Structure 1
Amino acid sequence: MAAPLLEKLSESLGSPEPAIRLILSVLIGYPFALVYRWFLFYQPATVVHLFHICSGLALAAFNFGSQLYHSAVCVFVQFLMLRLMGRTVTGVLSSFTFQMLYLLAGYYYTATEEYDIKWTMPHCVLTLKLIGLAFDFYDGGKEPSQLSADQAKAALPSVPTLLEVFGFSYFYGGFLVGPQFTMRNYQKLVSRELTDCPGKPPNSVVPALKRFALGFLCLAMYAIFSPSFPDTYLLTDEYEAQPFWYRCVFILLWGKFMLYKYVSCWVIAEGVCILAGLGYNGVVNGKHQWDACANMKVWLFETTPLFGGTIASFNINTNAWAARHVFKRLKFLGNKTLSHVATLLFLTIWHGLHSGYILCFSMEFFIITVERQAQALVLDSPLLTSLANSHFYPFVYIVQQFIHWLFMGYPLVPFCLFTYDKWLKVYSSVYFCGHLFFLVAYLILPFLRITLVPKKDRREKKQD
């Protein structure tokens, strides 16, 4: 009965059926959270774990059928590793290797040249969750002085039970699209600690509805505008025949509206976590915070003219996971740039095996490097600093924002088109303008520094 209804809904909305199943699954998290609040909040931990496991498995079955066994196998193997290997480096490395190889094998055997919603999509979220679990369990055996503040908060004092591991993995608010959260936070949720009213369900209905409304607005914008900017148009002769400026502006608008599919899912899923209580983040300046599961800073995403600002506003929990479990653990390399490159390389592989991911993340690294040098130049140059603080800044902001949006869409071309023949065709049609722009900027910035920064300030900077 459900299949014909989904087919009709898919046809009427003009969206693939797997996408409809996914968004319905994210939305059904709200009724699940209400069931938990109304009927299960005071129940024993075992009952809550079983509810999370059953609801998560139901969502997996609804979306991927019998292929849900992939997640179940990886969760069970991870539990065995925690139990049998203990707090050892071997346990962490074994977990990392097994989970990543399983994910990459999934990518390899299910790969197509299109973006498909299949079991590997939630599995990449689960992979980080399970690897993070191994790290946090290992950290629980260290002295607190050896850990960063984030690592100390997430460290596990004892091995979690089988029900805890499965409940943590299948929690309906984060199983399909994220966000990432720690086992410690999940344990606090089940033990009723994540609430602004001790011993009672949290007053989180209004904050959750606000995120739902914002997420639904982003979803509506995606549904309305994205059909006018399809990926496939980038590969047509008609696109290639358009003027150069048109091709660039199309990439700008395509990239902007394409990202709303991620923004909408993450913000709606965050609302589910807030409603359940997982989003509670303590008190700051006398106000209860509900942003523990925030994966998007939508206002910053919309208004920042900086590439670094967009990265800081986008997929926040995954970036925080990578910082805690990859970047900071590479401190022994003694080189932040090397740690940054290694982290981006990990994220590239984690996303998939297509060449487009490599090009996207390498371009991101290059853009951020150039932007940081440009920011340093503006801060060190009296002329540029005065211009940035003058009444001309609104004009500067508009130009900067245009460049920012254009070259945010530019690296997304290979990210979304995947294969070499496709992204090369699009980049050739715009004459590799993004690569050339940032290469020229990188080469001329040192000369601009000589021209615009007083000698005294340059000498002081070198001594620092």
Structure 2
Amino acid sequence: MRIKRCIDNGWMDGSTNMFSCGSPAGYPCALLYRRLLFHQPATVIHLFHSFSGLALAAFNFGSQLYHSVVCVLVQFLMLRLMGRTVTAVLSSFTFQMIYLLAGYYYTATEEYDIKWTMPHCVLMLKLVGLSFDYYDGGKEPSQLSPEQKKAALLSVPSLLEVCGFSYFYGGFLVGPQFTLRSYQRLVAGELTDCPGKPPNSVVPAMKRFGLGFLCLLIYAIFSPYYPDSYYQTAEYEVRTASVWRTDSTEQYVLRCVLQEGVCILSGLGYNGVVDGKHQWDACANMKVWLFETTPLFSGTIASFNINTNAWVARHVFKRLKFLGNKPLSHVTSLFFLTIWHGLHSGYFLCFSMEFFIITVERQAQALVRDSPLLTRLASSPLYPFIYVVQQFIHWLFMGYPLVAFCLFTYDKWLKVYSSVYFCGHVFFLVAYLSMPYLRKALVPKKERKDKKQE
């Protein structure tokens, strides 16, 4: 009854509608691949992945699936005609990014909508990453990092191969990100714990499906009581933004673990053997236990949207090494993530707050590390109490920047933040301004000099 009321009230018109015709639909596709297609030629497998993904796109977006088709075809032509050149990489990035932003601009509303731009932002990363990996394949191995070597393409892929990679049901609608090399290994039957046979991944996949179903129940229970519009009501003014984290983030956990289960079932989630045990976390986009228990803001970020963050680190942050400035590379990467999500002001506020919060947290961690008094406290019997306080601050303010992310527009998020007197902004600004004085009081003079010399 609770789930039915949730649907009737319209609170599942957002991401969870995508779940009903996206992530769960991948399970029968993966089972069909395992049972009937695992030993078939690569051409047959590519066709199956292409048409199953196109069918999902047509079911969700109708004729608007042509947007993805256009971008896939243009990307293939760039690989074929421009070759392994910087021009090809820049052209790919420019075209795919402009196409996505144009889609955001012409389809934007003030509400959370299910539309073709949602899977297209995932596809955009895949296609741009493809151009980077093809470019890296022309370099000397000594010039590449270990992760670049793993993803580099030694030959130009065929159109059918690019289509299968782009529309693979385990990642087309909602992610996760994976490389064409991983997809090629899947098609070749290499991603299995028993060579020559489909992987023994049914039980690991069902575990993720079960966790996803649990998240669905949590979301169905809480979403009728705390829709996004709740945070603009008078009742909210006596409550806290952290409630948003409990409810709305369950949508994302649900999406990630369900789709991860599809990837595991197909074999794409296979990640080799560690300490004698087969690992199935190659497509893990969430570390759920870390996400729920970490007292650190950086811990939440490290456990959240893992594959997308890894893509940005590999293709944006690390490739900006020539700037010689880590903070500038970090800011540029966050700016890319911001516009990749959309053009609403709430995204810009959210990611700018994220950068500021992480900066303050790193300064606080350095203070604890450099101060003998704080180091002793952190390792004393008082630590459980310190952990509770730290976790309270984390839970209280983790949802604070996400309110702007959720409410999109200036008039909405400004009303919410005004109702709580911009408490998060004030808290972290005071902490940032206080940090130099705290270091002076708690860190010995000799330690401060050594740090300056470093």
Shorter chain as denominator, the TM-score bin is over 0.9
Residue aligning to 1:229: 226
TM-score normalized by the length of structure 1: 0.95
What is the 5 A alignment of 1:326-365? 326-365=316-355
Q: Does the 8 Å CA contact 2:219/2:247 hold for their aligned counterparts? A: yes
Amino acid at match of 2:119: P
Number of residue pairs the alignment of both structures matches: 451
Residue aligning to 1:428: 418
Amino acid at match of 1:149: P
Residue aligning to 2:236: 239
Residue aligning to 1:286: 276
* Alpha carbons of structure 1 residues 234 and 391: separation in structure 2 relative to 1, 3 Å: same
Q: Does 1:460 align with 2:433?
A: no
Structure 2: gaps (5+ residues)? none
Partner of residue 116 from structure 1, selected from 99, 113, 116: 113
Q: Does the 8 Å CA contact 1:300/1:313 hold for their aligned counterparts? A: yes
What is the 5 A alignment of 1:99-248? 99-240=96-237, 242=238, 247-248=239-240
- Give me the whole-angstrom Cα distance separating, in 2, the residues matched to 1:24 and 1:92: 33
- Give me the whole-angstrom Cα distance separating, in 1, the residues matched to 2:210 and 2:40: 30
Partner of residue 399 from structure 1, selected from 359, 364, 389: 389
- Give me the whole-angstrom Cα distance separating, in 1, the residues matched to 2:114 and 2:11: 16
Q: Does the 8 Å CA contact 2:11/2:227 hold for their aligned counterparts? A: no
Residue aligning to 1:416: 406
Q: Does the 8 Å CA contact 1:87/1:138 hold for their aligned counterparts? A: yes
Q: Does 1:321 align with 2:305?
A: no
Q: Does the 8 Å CA contact 2:19/2:255 hold for their aligned counterparts? A: no
Alignment deviations for residues 38-69 of structure 1 (CA, whole Å, 9 cap, x no partner) = 00000000000000011101100111111111
Q: CA deviation at 1:13?
A: 7.9
- Give me the whole-angstrom Cα distance separating, in 1, the residues matched to 2:25 and 2:292: 27
* Alpha carbons of structure 1 residues 255 and 180: separation in structure 2 relative to 1, 3 Å: same
Q: CA deviation at 1:93?
A: 0.6
Q: Does 1:96 align with 2:93?
A: yes
* Alpha carbons of structure 1 residues 18 and 314: separation in structure 2 relative to 1, 3 Å: closer
Residue aligning to 1:4: none
Q: CA deviation at 1:231?
A: 1.0
- Give me the whole-angstrom Cα distance separating, in 2, the residues matched to 1:181 and 1:227: 35
- Give me the whole-angstrom Cα distance separating, in 2, the residues matched to 1:157 and 1:8: 53
Alignment deviations for residues 47-92 of structure 1 (CA, whole Å, 9 cap, x no partner) = 0000001110110011111111111110011001000000011100
Amino acid at match of 1:24: C
- Give me the whole-angstrom Cα distance separating, in 2, the residues matched to 1:444 and 1:227: 41
Residue aligning to 2:8: 11
TM-score normalized by the length of structure 2: 0.97
Residue aligning to 1:3: none
Partner of residue 37 from structure 1, selected from 34, 37, 41: 34
Alignment deviations for residues 147-199 of structure 1 (CA, whole Å, 9 cap, x no partner) = 11111110000000001100000000000110000000000000001111111
* Alpha carbons of structure 1 residues 207 and 19: separation in structure 2 relative to 1, 3 Å: closer
Partner of residue 295 from structure 2, selected from 300, 305, 308: 305
Alignment deviations for residues 411-442 of structure 1 (CA, whole Å, 9 cap, x no partner) = 01110111111111111111111111111101
Amino acid at match of 1:331: K
* Alpha carbons of structure 1 residues 338 and 14: separation in structure 2 relative to 1, 3 Å: closer
Q: Does the 8 Å CA contact 2:14/2:113 hold for their aligned counterparts? A: no
Residue aligning to 2:43: 46
Q: Which moved more, 1:279-288 or 1:154-163?
A: 279-288
- Give me the whole-angstrom Cα distance separating, in 2, the residues matched to 1:8 and 1:49: 41
Partner of residue 256 from structure 2, selected from 263, 266, 271: 266
Q: Does the 8 Å CA contact 1:192/1:199 hold for their aligned counterparts? A: yes
- Give me the whole-angstrom Cα distance separating, in 1, the residues matched to 2:152 and 2:18: 35
Alignment deviations for residues 184-238 of structure 1 (CA, whole Å, 9 cap, x no partner) = 0000000001111111111111111111111111121111112221110111233
Q: RMSD between aligned alpha carbons?
A: 1.5
Q: Quick one: percent identity of the two aligned structures?
A: 77
Amino acid at match of 2:423: C
Q: Moved runs in structure 1, 4+ residues, more than 6 A?
A: none
- Give me the whole-angstrom Cα distance separating, in 1, the residues matched to 2:354 and 2:246: 16
Q: Does the 8 Å CA contact 1:154/1:183 hold for their aligned counterparts? A: yes
